Amino acid sequence: MKLLQRSLVARIVASLLAISAMALISIVVTMAVAGGSRGDAAAINVAGSLRMNTYQIVAALQRYERTPSLEHQAAVHVLKRRFEERLESDELTGAIPVSEAHELRRQYRLVLSRWHNELAPEVNEAVDSRTVNIESLNRTLDGLVSEIDQMVSQLEQNTEAKIRLLSALQILFLGLTAVVVAIALYDIRHNLVAPLRQLMVLAREAARHNFSVRTRLKGADELALLGHTFDTMAEELGTSYADLEERVKRKTRELERSSQVMQVLHDGSRWLYGGGNDLCASAAPMLRQVETLLEIGPIRLLLNDPHDDRPIPILATHSARRPNYCRDHDCHACLIGPRPMRLTDTEEGDCVLLPVSVGDEMLGTLEVWYPKEQPLSDSVRRLLNALADQLATAVFLQRRIEEEQQVSLMNERTIIARELHDSLAQSLSYLKMQVARLERMQAKGAPRESQAAVFDELRTGLNSAYRQLRELLTTFRLKLEGPGLQTALLQTTEEFSERMGAPVEMHYDVPPHLLNPNEEIHLLQIAREALSNTHKHAQAHWAGVTVNFHHARITLRIEDDGIGLADSDSPPMHYGLVIMRDRAHTLGGELKLSNRATGGTCIEVTFTPQTARLITRQPATDSLLHDQGN
């Protein structure tokens, strides 16, 4: 009983078992009653046929009396034996109760008695005497038939009683089943449906973030326990949800503040990377905005001296005075603020030191002061680390830009010096030797005709030196006006196209940043020298300059459709061709001069650029570089 009180499932299972048991009992009883009624119809038929059988016996006796013969006598005996067989047959006796107290059993005994004691003796006597006492026989027959009729009636009543019993049992079990179903439905409605509705209401309200609804279920079954649990859970969820809402609001404020800080850092990146070398003017406004948003400060940036790693104060937000190493006294970036703050004002606060570093290179330190009662959260620390990294990147890039500018300046000076040495310096040396020769000739009183040849060589050398100087100036102007070899070659082809009055085409197919400045200058000078020769000697109506990169080699080809060379061999060595060959050898390549099949001249220079040689040599030097790095 306690289990049924505590468990709704147990009650439902008990109801189902009770209904199933009653249905099973009803089926079993029905089968038993039906089995007990089996043969009642056959017994009634047999009992009814006994009456006809008695009349047949009487009729056979009358025929035997009128015509005594063995045939009629045998017919009487057959009918008599048939009557006895039917009277004692299993079909009839099987439908009669075994109990001697039963009315049907007594009636059956009475029929047997009348047959054996009254009618059967009279039939035997009539057969033996061949005379039939019709009146006595009819009286005996009527009595037997009356008893048989009464037995048939009792058989019918016994069968009807079984059917009535079966109907009563069906009604009884149907009523019991209806009662159990009604009890189960009542239990399900009050202890299952109603609690489920309350639980659904609580679930819907909880989905709407309303945790004030309670089921308040009573009892000790599963749904009541579930309701108590849901009530407790709703109460806890209400408390947790309120706490989470507060935390979400707080986190939202932090995220909004972090988003604003990230926007400041994003805007500050443009100040840092677009402000040149003035780190104070570009970083100070960003640091002050970060202080305002994060409610911290002041912030001080110290950078290490590249030579002795001595920390140098660069800037301090809300500073009362400018840093000792300030380079611009007209700048007030550090001093601007609604209320200047001193670092001594934060003696009651805490300071966090953030490294300003790129990789393993320590560039400086970022000091961030904050109140003790407001410790820095993880998100604020991440933002400050991002700020330190951004400052480190800006400082690192500024230093690298300065170094690259110095290296570029030195490279440019080296290239100019090499060009002056390889061209103009040699020409001036030649002129100096001719002047010394002329002085010796004048000292010896040489004839004027001999001196005239030296004057001609001096004039030719001066013209050549002046032409080389103009070419160098033109080359360096092209280099400064446009970045890269392609732009310089394009300007050169446009220049010579105007000078020649003929088109000069250019085809350029070289990856960017493949050639170093020295290689670009040599290629440009070779192209200008070749186009100058085309303009002076080729009488061409078309020229083309092609530069491509194939199989790790650079090929420069200058072609024209002019008169070409006198033969297919290289022409005699002259000053411009010597310079072009020297430049090709300097590049580590070779220069070829030949006639084109369609007419004109083709000058081709092929060499492996320094970058390609380094790439080709890289696998062989990987282990060496690795060992040196270790």
Helix (H, G, I), strand (E, B) or coil at 597: coil
Tell how many helices (H) and how many strands (E) occur in the chain. Answer: 18, 9
Query: Each residue of 182-238: pLDDT tens digit?
Result: 888 887 887 778 788 888 888 888 788 787 888 877 777 777 778 788 788 888 888
**Phi and psi torsions of 511, nearest 5°:** -60, 150
Contact (CB, 8 A) for 369 and 350: yes
The DSSP 8-state label assigned to residue 67 in this structure reads S
pLDDT at residue 76, as a whole number: 77
Cα distance between residue 339 and residue 317, in whole Å: 11
Query: Each residue of 45-63: pLDDT tens digit?
Result: 777 777 787 777 778 777 7
Contact (CB, 8 A) for 47 and 157: no
Most distant pair of Cα atoms in the chain: their distance: 214
Cα distance between residue 337 and residue 345, in whole Å: 15
Average pLDDT over residues 22-30: 85
Cα distance between residue 265 and residue 158, in whole Å: 108
Query: Each residue of 238-288: pLDDT tens digit?
Result: 888 888 888 888 888 878 877 877 777 777 676 666 555 566 667 777 777
Q: Could you identify the residue written with the tokens 């959260």?
A: 377
Average pLDDT over residues 140-152: 78
Query: Each residue of 606-630: pLDDT tens digit?
Result: 999 886 554 444 443 344 334 433 3
Cα–chain-centroid distance for residue 539? 70
Q: How much of the chain is in helix, strand and coil states, percent to nearest 5?
A: 70, 10, 20
Task: Provide the β-strand partners of residue 594.
Answer: 602
Query: Each residue of 400-437: pLDDT tens digit?
Result: 777 776 676 676 667 667 666 666 676 777 778 878 87
Joined tokens for residue 590: 């070779």
Contact (CB, 8 A) for 500 and 535: yes
CA distances to 108, 153, 256, 515 from 102, in Å: 10, 14, 103, 132
pLDDT at residue 622, as a whole number: 43
What structural domains and CATH numbers belong to the chain? 2-195 (1.20.120.1730), 254-401 (3.30.450.40), 485-630 (3.30.565.10)
Contact (CB, 8 A) for 484 and 520: yes
- Give the type of residue at 354: L
Query: Each residue of 369-403: pLDDT tens digit?
Result: 888 777 888 888 888 888 888 888 888 887 777 77
**Phi and psi torsions of 324, nearest 5°:** -65, -30
pLDDT at residue 621, as a whole number: 38
pLDDT band at 344 (very low <50, low <70, confident <90, very high): very low
More confident site: 558 or 26: 558
Contact (CB, 8 A) for 522 and 418: no
Task: Provide the β-strand partners of residue 366.
Answer: 301, 354
Cα distance between residue 496 and residue 144, in whole Å: 157
More confident site: 604 or 34: 604
Query: Each residue of 282-310: pLDDT tens digit?
Result: 777 777 778 777 778 788 888 887 666 67
Joined tokens for residue 62: 């009358």
Long-range contacts of 155-164, Cβ-Cβ distance < 8 Å, separation of 24 or more: 155/40, 155/43, 155/44, 155/47, 155/95, 155/96, 155/104, 156/44, 158/40, 158/95, 158/97, 158/104, 159/37, 159/40, 159/41, 159/44, 162/33, 162/36, 162/37, 162/40, 163/37
More confident site: 493 or 380: 493
More confident site: 55 or 478: 55
Joined tokens for residue 32: 């038993």
More confident site: 320 or 512: 512
pLDDT at residue 630, as a whole number: 37
